[in-house]
Amino acid sequence: MRSTCGRAVPKRSAKLFFYLRNEIALADILLAIALHAPTKSDAELGAALRFVTSNVLEAVIRFLQSADLPSATLARLLQALRELNEGHGNPLFTAPKITHRRTDSLPTVGCKAVAAAAMQFYMDARVSKNDAASKVATSLQKTPFRYYGSKPISPRMVASWRDRCIGAHGKADVPAYIFQMMLTNMRGRFSTPTKQAEGVLAVLYRITLTPPLISTR
């Protein structure tokens, strides 16, 4: 057996590779069971998830060690999981305190990016930035995505979402990625920026969001 860089992998590593493959397959099965089976509490589910993750992580570490590729980072992660399972806190799993910033759900992030795309299309149609934001905000009042938090969506909100998306790139930036995908998709479907904007907004008529980010009042 050979590695991707052309070096021969020891026979022990070859055996551990098959062991690793089996461990991963088993872990995926156990994970599915843990996520779909009814549990008594979040603590019980957490313990099951840590058990599955620790097992497969340990198998990965053993394989890497056999191939002379030890990872201190993965070893530290495994140790942190074990400490957590024993009731000991670990900085690795301490949620950061975020102030002055809302944590949006993925559907809400998507809706903001879609609204930003609609505004961009209006601007492509030579509508001024302020008027484009106003047109989108007005249109949103007829869709399920008409409130952000407890406030009606304003032109200023829409403009800020567009500014947030316009300069970012890559799949890692979710809002920007959705924004760019909507631009590409609608440009392929409709011939004019105005029709493209209307096509984007039509998406928002069919969505369903849950409180508290969207109010039904």
pLDDT for 213: 41
pLDDT for 87: 80
pLDDT for 101: 56
pLDDT for 79-101, tens place per residue?
A: 988 888 888 877 787 766 655 55
Predicted structure pTM score: 0.51
- Residue segments in the chain with a per-residue pLDDT below the cut of 70: 1-13, 37-40, 95-102, 168-172, 207-217
Which helix (H) or strand (E) covers residue 135, if one does?
helix 129-140
Question: Looking up tokens 């992998």, which residue turns up?
Answer: 9
Structural domain boundaries of the chain? Answer: 11-93, 106-204
For residue 55, give every residue at least 6 positions away whose Cβ sits within 8 Å of its Cβ, in sequence order, or none.
Answer: 23, 26, 27
As a whole number of angstroms, the distance between CA 146 and CA 102 comes to: 17
pLDDT for 216: 36
